[in-house]
Chain A
Amino acid sequence: MTPIITAENLSKHFPSRHVLGRGKPVQAVSGFSLAVRRGEAVGLVGESGSGKSTIGRLLLGLLPPSAGRVVLDGTDIGKADAATLRRLRRRMQLVFQDPYSSLDPRRTVGAQIADGLAIHRVVPPAERHGRVEALLTQVGLTAAHAERYPHEFSGGQRQRVGIARALATEPDFLVADEPVSALDVSVQAQVLALLADLRRRLGLAMLFISHDLPVVRSICDRAVVLYLGRVMEEGPAADVFERPRHPYTKALLSASPTLDPARRRTRILLAGDPPSPADPPSGCVFRTRCPWAKPACADTIPQLSNLGPGHRVACLRVDEIADIDQE
Chain B
Amino acid sequence: MRRLRLGPVVAVGAIATVALLTPFLGLANPLHMDIAHRLAPPSPAHPLGTDAYGRGVLSRLLWGARVSLMVASSSSLLACVFGTALGLAGGFLRGPVEFLALRGMDVVLCFPPLLLALLVVTLLGPGAGTLIPVLVVLYLPGFVRVVYAGVISVRTQDYVEAMRSLGAGRMRIMLRTILPNVGGPVLVQLSLAAASAVVLESGLSFLGLGVVPPTPSWGLMIGAARATMAQAPLLLLWPCLALSVTILALNALCDALRDAVDPHGMTRRAHRAGILERLAPGLLPARGPALQVVGLTIAIDTPAGTIHPVRDVSLTVMPHETLALVGESGSGKSLTGLATMGLLPSIARVERGAVWVEGRDVLRLDEAVLRRLRGEMVAMIFQDPLSSLNPVQRIAPQIAEAIQAHSAGAGKAAKRRAVELLRHVGIPDPERRAHNFPHEMSGGMRQRAMIAMAIANHPRLLIADEPTTALDVTIQAQVLELLAGLRHESGMALVFITHSLPVVAEIADRVSVMYAGEIVEQGRVTEVFARPLHPYTAALLASVPREDGSLPEPIPGTVPPPSALPPGCAFAPRCRHVAAACRTGVLPLMEVEPGRLTRCCRWSDLA
Q: Do A and B come from one complex?
A: yes
Chain A's closest residue to B472 (CB) is A47
Which residues of chain B are within 8 angstroms of A211 by Cβ–Cβ distance? 472-473
Q: In the bound complex, do residue B472 and residue A196 qualify as a contact, i.e. CB atoms below 8 Å apart? A: no
With beta carbons under 8 angstroms apart, the residue of B157, B164, B545 that contacts A212 is: B545
We find that the number of chain B residues with CB closer than 8 angstroms to chain A is 61
Q: Is B474 an interface residue (CB 8 A)?
A: yes
Among the listed B168, B445, B476, which residue makes an inter-chain contact with A119, where contact means beta carbons less than 8 Å apart? B168
Q: Is the CB of A186 within 8 A of B477?
A: no
Say how far B181's CB is from chain A's closest CB, in angstroms: 6
A184 pairs with B158, CB closer than 8 A: no
Cross-chain contact A255 with B476 (CB below 8 angstroms): yes
- Add 20 more A-B contacts to A214-B547, A267-B477 (CB < 8 A): A60-B165, A86-B167, A92-B165, A96-B162, A101-B158, A116-B167, A157-B558, A185-B543, A186-B539, A186-B543, A193-B552, A213-B547, A217-B546, A217-B549, A218-B552, A254-B477, A257-B505, A257-B506, A258-B505, A274-B472
A sample of 29 cross-chain residue pairs with beta-carbon separation below 8 angstroms, ordered by A number, consists of A47-B473, A47-B475, A48-B472, A89-B166, A98-B158, A101-B158, A102-B158, A104-B180, A162-B162, A184-B329, A184-B499, A185-B499, A185-B501, A188-B543, A189-B544, A189-B553, A189-B555, A192-B554, A193-B554, A211-B472, A214-B547, A217-B546, A218-B551, A241-B549, A255-B476, A257-B502, A269-B481, A273-B442, A273-B444
What's the Cα separation between A90 and B165 when bound, in Å?
8
A273 CB → nearest B CB, Å:
4
Q: How many A-B residue pairs have CB under 8 A?
A: 186
Report the Cα distance A104→B549, complex, angstroms: 35
Interface residues of B (CB under 8 A from A): 157-159, 161-168, 172, 176-177, 180-181, 183, 328-329, 428, 442, 444-445, 472-478, 480-481, 499-503, 505-506, 526, 529, 539-556, 558-559
Are B558 and A103 closer than 8 Å at their CB atoms?
no
Residues of B within 8 A of A106 (CB): 180-181, 183
* In the bound complex, CA of A254 to CA of B529 (Å): 20
How big is chain A's contact interface, by range?
35 or more
CB-contacts of A231-276 with B (<8 A): 237-238, 241, 251-252, 254-261, 263-264, 267, 269-270, 272-274
Q: Which of B158, B166, B329, B444 has the most CB of A within 10 A?
A: B166
Docked complex Cα distance between A251 and B480 (Å): 15
Set B428, B505, B554: member contacting A261, Cβ < 8 A: B505
CB distance from A200 to the nearest CB of B (A): 11
CA distance A274 to B161 in the complex (A): 28
In the bound assembly, the distance between CA atoms of A192 and B556 in angstroms comes to 13
Interface string of A21-35 (1 = CB under 8 A from B): 000000000000000
Cβ-neighbour of B554 out of A96, A169, A186, A259 (below 8 A)? A186
A155 to B552: give the CA distance in the assembly, Å: 18
Given A47-B472, A218-B549 in contact, is the A259-B502 Cβ separation under 8 Å?
yes
Of A85, A92, A157, A189, which is within 8 A of B552 by CB? A189
Which A residues touch B157, using CB under 8 A?
A: 101-102
Q: A255-B474, A258-B547 are in contact. Are A62 and B328 (CB under 8 A)?
A: no
- Taking the complex as formed, is A190 at the interface, i.e. its CB lies under 8 A from any CB of chain B? yes
Q: Which residue of A lies closest to B184 (CB)?
A: A106
Determine the chain A residues whose CB is within 8 A of the CB of B481 once the complex forms. 267, 269
A115-131 CB contacts (< 8 Å) to partner B: 115-116, 119-120
A287 within 8 A of B: no
